[in-house]
Amino acid sequence: MNISKVKRFFIALSLITYALSSCQSYKNVPYYKDLDKKGIVTEKITNNSDYLIHTGDILGINITSRNPESAAVFNYNLARVNGNAYNTSPDNPVIGYMVDGNGNIHLPLAGEIKASGLTTTQLTESLGKALLTYLKDPVVNIRIVNFKVYVYGDVARPNAYNVIDEHPTVIQALTLAGDLNITGMRKKVLLIRNEDGERKYIQLDLTSKNIYNSPYFYLKNNDEIYVTPGRSKLVANGLPVLGVIISALSVVAIVLTRN
């Protein structure tokens, strides 16, 4: 057996293994590569529009007034909803007024109130006026209690995340999921949005600061974010097996060199 050939073979195999394990180019890893790092960069925010309430949103509405006993009829609580015992099991944890298929919510006494297409501020003003018939100086507070985003793919903690903020961003959602793994493709982050009877697939590039100016930077309820895994993900998953193979070949090479 030609020992020099065995050694060359082993060295070549080691180099190939190293190359495969390092194939995720560093230049594809950093965010905001086109940002000037030499000083402070300032730009106007032009894409942060108010969230508009949609069909299927659940609104947490709290109403107070000078006559609190009268206001109590409009407020949900853990014990009862619309006079009936409420199911507080983990399968049904959300309490509030759901926006129906016609875009309305239904309040005791006040009846149907238009909600879809309004901001929470606009609905707050609308409810305040409608409740003047029943309450003295009503104070209305509204928030969306079922705002949820789904983050999956090549991230640290794929999951569905409930969000309190009405203006969550792509970056905030990815942060909740523990950020992208090093093998995630930062130029191929896919946003999936169901809106007005259509499903949209939007490609986002985290390596450019222009992500902040994207009309899709601010998320909507039930948005999905999918992070595409890079080819190095497959290599990384295969390295343990490859390591076993190399170890076996190393033993073979040692045996051959001794014979």
Give the pLDDT mean for 111-129.
94
Same-domain check for residues 31 and 159? yes
Same-domain check for residues 36 and 62? no
* Digit-coded pLDDT (tens) for 22-67: 555 667 778 888 888 788 888 888 888 889 999 999 999 999 999 8
Same-domain check for residues 110 and 134? yes
Q: What is the DSSP letter of 173?
A: H
**End-of-domain residue from the set 126, 144, 162:** 144
Same-domain check for residues 72 and 137? yes
Q: What is the DSSP letter of 218?
A: B
CA–CA separation, 244 and 158 (whole Å): 30
**End-of-domain residue from the set 91, 109, 144:** 144
CATH number reported for the structural domain that contains residue 196 in this entry: 3.10.560.10
CA angle 231, 236, 241 (to 5 degrees): 125
CATH number reported for the structural domain that contains residue 122 in this entry: 3.30.1950.10
Q: Residue 109: its pLDDT value, please?
A: 87
Same-domain check for residues 63 and 118? yes
Same-domain check for residues 40 and 157? yes
Same-domain check for residues 62 and 138? yes
pLDDT band at 72 (very low <50, low <70, confident <90, very high): confident
Are 227 and 154 in contact by the 8 Å Cβ rule? The answer is: yes
